[in-house]
Amino acid sequence: METISENRCFDGTQGVHKHPSDACNCDMTFGLFLPQEAQFTKVPLLWYLSGLTCTHENAMTKAGAQVWAAEQGIGLIFPDTSPRGEDVANDDAYDLGKGAGFYVNATQDPWAPHFQMYDYIADELPALVAKNFSIDMDRQGITGHSMGGHGALTLAMTRPGQFQSVSAFAPICHPTNSDWGKKQLGAYLGEDTSNWAAHDSTLLMKDRGFDGPILIDTGTDDQFGDLLGTEHLAAAIAERRQNAQIRLQPGYDHSYFFVSTFIEDHVAFHAQALYE
């Protein structure tokens, strides 16, 4: 693993690191914020999965999460959203290929050789972090924005016991029923829609739910609201009587201005679960 940069940040350290990934068959980059407590003890970890077109850098520099993580004494990890490199397949559209991994393991060409983002986030990167940093891997929460909110919810529900809490900002809630989902799941996983269900939080909520608390914020003026399917997940949560909050925030859109407004609430939400 190569450390690209380290900066002092709210008495902790914001690092950027690169490593060869076996899962994605290329070099991968991630950001990791460690609060000052990590100098003395292992700290809980909150995963932040970013949305379409993002790299590790967007949320790291725009969400304003480090100040609240430092206050709560938890680490923050910002993975990339897809594999990168000259030999990695791509598409001219912004919502497929690089920057649009959708946190699935692709089975179809030309995506399968590199786009194994589910395994990367669920297994490979946690093992790397546990080996190299002062992180308590028994205390993990996960959050994300848009495509990353989709990833956070689906990973939490398909990896029971790995995450103690999950939250999301404007997540894609029902991708098997949305243009933000049908296109990508078809490309990465093939046309057999039975293979898509494990990556749809509405269907997963109906099937199994989550053994922990859930917090979701979505803006009422989200310009992509029709693609998110929030109402479908809300109905599934109500039917299952899942421990969850869905908050519709008046006047907010899909931007990082929205994320940065409510990131304090989300970090505090996870800290409460991780320090129980």
Task: Kindly report the average pLDDT of the chain as a whole number.
Answer: 97
Catalytic residue among 21, 50, 82, 146: 146
Amino acid identity, residue 44? P
Which of 222, 232, 266, 270 is labelled catalytic?
A: 222
Residue 276 has pLDDT above 90, yes or no: no
Can 254 be counted among the known catalytic residues?
A: yes
User: Looking at residues 145-169, what average pLDDT do you find?
Assistant: 98
Residue 140 has pLDDT above 90, yes or no: yes
Q: What is the mean pLDDT of residues 237-247?
A: 97
Predicted pLDDT of residue 234: 98
Report whether pLDDT(86) > 90: yes
Q: Domain-by-domain residue ranges, the chain?
A: 18-274
Q: In the predicted model, is pLDDT for residue 116 greater than 90?
A: yes
Split at pLDDT 50, 70, 90, the class of 2 is very high
| Arithmetic mean of pLDDT, 227-237 | 98
Confidence class for position 19, pLDDT limits 50, 70, 90:
very high
The whole-angstrom separation of Cα 114 and Cα 252 is 35
Q: In the predicted model, is pLDDT for residue 144 greater than 90?
A: yes
Whether residue 222 lies in the annotated active site: yes
Indicate whether 35 pLDDT > 90. Answer: yes
Specify the CATH number of the domain 18-274: 3.40.50.1820
- Mean pLDDT of all residues in 245-263: 98
Residue 221 — very low, low, confident or very high, per pLDDT cuts 50/70/90? very high
pTM of this structure: 0.97
- Say if CB 209 and CB 233 are below 8 A apart: no
The active-site residue, picked from 56, 114, 174, 254, is 254
Long-range contacts formed by 256-262: CB under 8 A, 24+ apart: 256/58, 256/59, 256/62, 256/63, 256/145, 258/169, 258/170, 258/217, 258/219, 258/222, 259/59, 259/62, 259/63, 259/145, 259/169, 260/62, 260/63, 260/64, 262/169, 262/217
Let me know if 21 is a catalytic residue: no
pLDDT tens track for 188-202: 999 999 999 999 999
Confidence grade of residue 238 (pLDDT, cut at 50, 70, 90): very high
What is the Cα–Cα distance from 232 to 224, expressed in whole angstroms?
15
